[in-house]
């Protein structure tokens, strides 16, 4: 069982985190000070330390340095009360896997913890390379493997997508996934990986949209201890983490031109060096990239390298928008309802016919991601066994035949009221961000400019309100 040490001087937060992580299969120990945390670390081995930045006897930065110096094989995640890109860069350089900003959200915490432990395990274990597939392997196996979030649809668009996935999966081709934001590109990338000869090797996802110049080299290739000021430990990069398996680069069109040049050289030579090292590491990595931009248009405007595009474009899959997948929308909705019930410990069983009408008639500019978000929120608001239109956002509920909103948009009587000021503020922020994203077809760069915030802040807010999946 994986062991986690929680360090937080707020006893209630530590208790809640401990209960949540225990329910999810971790062995958890809590400490309320930096001193007691170091005592626990001296007595036992932990896979991960989840440490609050502000402690009574020290701070997260000092704890991070002490842990990495004394227990380099232990991963560290810092919890902060605010989002600050300079602090994030500093913490990453000092050895933190990641940092999480308050308020804390269960899905984000669990996802970050699992990835942190996988990364630390990859660093602690020797890299193993993929062996050549055995020619004598049986070809009679006809079952396919998909992750939990992948929904197999029956529409013509879904069947065509499935056909392409199963066609390219057994090959070694690099793949470009092209589709609007929210169409499920990462789940398709996982499906390709899980049905390939590399399925027992790592699948590593990297978000290029939030990658800064300062962190790019370290994130791609890793670094050695002492490679630069603040490099207090050896860090394994995403390419090395994915060695033998599949590396998924999301929003690849957002990479700067100079980073693209370095990436091209790596893809061509199939070798990397960690920053600060002279040792070359051979790579055996399949690359899948995703974009919601027209890369050929970016090439003509000088924003994307044509030679890198052709390296990636050995096979292209266009993901259909949700609005073109017909009654598959209901398959997605039912799948998301099942997940939301487990997450919220509820027993909502179905959708009313009016809600079904809304789902089938709405144009879903945010695609699968938007539908998942709507179902999760509706499940939270529903107190009966059936989701009603009053649990839907106004812009969606107007698509119900004869609904109150459709007849009188000014009528707020049926709309669920939020009386708590904190939740009201979060709801208003959610609606503002979602509306702006819809206006710009979920282009995050444009959305950040309209919202007058930087891209990193937008990503953090999207994570907080679950718009990043």
Q: What is the pLDDT of residues 261-303, one digit of tens each?
A: 889 999 988 999 888 888 989 999 999 999 988 888 889 989 8
User: Tokens 């003509």 appear where?
Assistant: 300
What pLDDT does 35 receive? Answer: 93
Angstrom distance (rounded) from CA 6 to CA 118: 18
pLDDT score of 444 more than 90: no
Give the N- to C-terminal CA distance of the chain in Å, as an integer: 28
Angstrom distance (rounded) from CA 383 to CA 318: 39
Please confirm whether the linkage preceding 103 is cis (ω < 30° from 0).
yes
Mean pLDDT of 244-266: 90
Q: How many CB atoms lie within 10 A of CB 349?
A: 13
Angstrom distance (rounded) from CA 85 to CA 391: 36
Q: Torsion-angle region of residue 441: left (phi > 0), alpha (psi -120 to 50) or beta?
A: left
What pLDDT does 228 receive? Answer: 80
Tell me which DSSP letter residue 274 carries. -
For residue 382, give both structure tokens: 């529903």
Mean pLDDT of 314-319: 91
Least confident of 16-20, 136-140, 301-305: 136-140
Run of H or E residues at 78: strand 75-80
pLDDT score of 327 more than 90: no
pLDDT score of 461 more than 80: no
pLDDT in tens, 157-179: 888 888 889 888 988 899 999 99
What pLDDT does 250 receive? Answer: 92
User: Tokens 């939301």 appear where?
Assistant: 340
User: Tokens 């979920």 appear where?
Assistant: 442
What pLDDT does 454 receive? Answer: 74
Residue 300, judged by CB atoms within 10 A of its CB (0-12, 13-18, 19+), counts as exposed
pLDDT in tens, 340-370: 999 899 999 999 999 998 998 898 988 998 9
Angstrom distance (rounded) from CA 426 to CA 360: 28
What pLDDT does 122 receive? Answer: 62
- Is 243:284 a contact under the CB 8 Å cutoff? yes
pLDDT score of 145 more than 60: yes
pLDDT level of residue 39 (50, 70, 90 thresholds): very high
Residue 348: HSE in the Cβ half-sphere, 13 Å Cα cutoff:
31
- Three-state SS string over 79-102 comes to EECCCCHHHHHHHHHHCCCEEEEC
What pLDDT does 6 receive? Answer: 95
Tell me what percent of the residues of the chain surpass a pLDDT of 70.
86
What pLDDT does 224 receive? Answer: 87
Least confident of 24-33, 97-106, 265-274: 97-106
Angstrom distance (rounded) from CA 67 to CA 71: 5
Tell me which DSSP letter residue 452 carries. T
How is the chain split into domains, by residue range? 3-124, 156-320, 351-464
Tell me what percent of the residues of the chain surpass a pLDDT of 90.
34
Averaged pLDDT score across all residues of the chain: 82
Mean pLDDT of 4-30: 90
Superfamily for domain range 3-124: Response regulator (3.40.50.2300)
User: Tokens 């050695």 appear where?
Assistant: 224
pLDDT level of residue 232 (50, 70, 90 thresholds): confident
- Report which listed range, 77-81, 301-305, 418-422, is most confident: 301-305
Run of H or E residues at 272: strand 271-272
For residue 142, give both structure tokens: 């006809």
For residue 296, give both structure tokens: 């050929």
Angstrom distance (rounded) from CA 122 to CA 283: 15
What pLDDT does 8 receive? Answer: 92
What pLDDT does 99 receive? Answer: 80
Closest CA relative to residue 223, chosen from 77, 76, 92: 92
Distance of CA 35 to the CA centre of its chain: 33
Mean pLDDT of 219-228: 85
- Report which listed range, 81-90, 210-219, 410-419, is most confident: 210-219
Same fold, 3-124 and 156-320: yes
For residue 33, give both structure tokens: 């000070």
User: Tokens 């360090």 appear where?
Assistant: 7
> Which CATH class name applies to 156-320?
alpha beta
Residue 126, judged by CB atoms within 10 A of its CB (0-12, 13-18, 19+), counts as exposed
- Report which listed range, 227-231, 307-311, 411-415, 446-450, is most confident: 307-311
What pLDDT does 433 receive? Answer: 84
pTM (2 decimals)?
0.60
What pLDDT does 204 receive? Answer: 92
Angstrom distance (rounded) from CA 373 to CA 124: 37
């Amino acid at each position: 069982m994986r062991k986690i040490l929680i360090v937080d001087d707020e006893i209630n937060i530590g208790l809640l985190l401990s209960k949540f992580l225990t329910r999810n299969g971790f062995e958890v120990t809590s400490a309320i000070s930096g001193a007691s945390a170091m005592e626990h670390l001296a007595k036992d081995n932990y896979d991960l330390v989840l440490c609050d930045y502000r402690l009574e006897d020290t701070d997260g930065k000092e704890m991070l340095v002490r842990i990495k110096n004394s227990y380099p094989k232990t991963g560290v995640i810092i919890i902060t009360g605010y989002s600050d890109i300079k602090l994030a860069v500093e913490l990453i350089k000092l050895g933190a896997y990641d940092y999480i900003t308050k308020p804390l959200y269960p899905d984000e915490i669990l996802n970050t913890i699992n990835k942190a432990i996988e990364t630390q395990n990859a660093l602690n274990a020797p890299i193993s390379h993929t062996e050549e597939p055995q020619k004598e392997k049986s070809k009679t196996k006809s079952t396919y493997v998909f992750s939990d979030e992948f929904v197999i649809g029956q529409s013509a668009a879904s069947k065509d997508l499935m056909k392409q996935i199963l066609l390219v999966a057994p090959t070694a081709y690099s793949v470009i996934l092209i589709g609007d934001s929210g169409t499920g590109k990462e789940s398709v990338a996982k499906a390709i990986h899980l049905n390939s000869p590399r399925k027992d090797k790592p699948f590593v996802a990297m978000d290029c949209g939030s990658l800064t110049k300062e962190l790019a080299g370290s994130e791609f290739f890793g670094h050695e201890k002492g490679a630069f000021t603040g490099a207090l430990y050896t860090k394994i990069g995403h390419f090395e983490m994915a060695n033998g398996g599949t590396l998924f680069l999301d929003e690849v069109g957002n990479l700067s031109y100079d980073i693209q040049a370095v990436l091209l050289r790596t893809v061509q030579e199939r070798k990397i060096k960690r920053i600060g090292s002279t040792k070359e590491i051979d790579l055996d990595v399949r690359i899948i990239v995703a974009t919601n931009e027209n890369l050929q248009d970016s090439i003509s405007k000088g924003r994307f390298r044509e030679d890198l595009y052709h390296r990636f474009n050995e096979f292209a899959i266009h993901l259909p928008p949700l609005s073109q997948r017909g009654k598959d929308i209901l398959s997605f909705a039912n799948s998301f309802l099942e997940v939301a019930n487990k997450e919220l410990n509820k027993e909502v069983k179905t959708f009313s016919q009016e809600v079904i009408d809304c789902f089938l008639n709405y144009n879903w500019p945010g695609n699968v991601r938007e539908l998942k978000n709507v179902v999760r929120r509706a499940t939270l608001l529903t107190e009966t066994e059936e989701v009603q239109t009053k649990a839907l956002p106004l812009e969606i509920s107007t698509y119900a035949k004869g609904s109150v909103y459709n007849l009188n948009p000014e009528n707020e009587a049926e709309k669920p009221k939020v009386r708590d000021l904190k939740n009201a503020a979060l709801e208003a922020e959610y609606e503002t961000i979602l509306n702006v994203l819809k206006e710009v077809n979920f282009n995050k760069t444009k959305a950040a400019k309209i919202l007058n915030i930087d891209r990193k802040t937008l990503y953090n807010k999207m994570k907080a309100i679950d718009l990043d999946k």
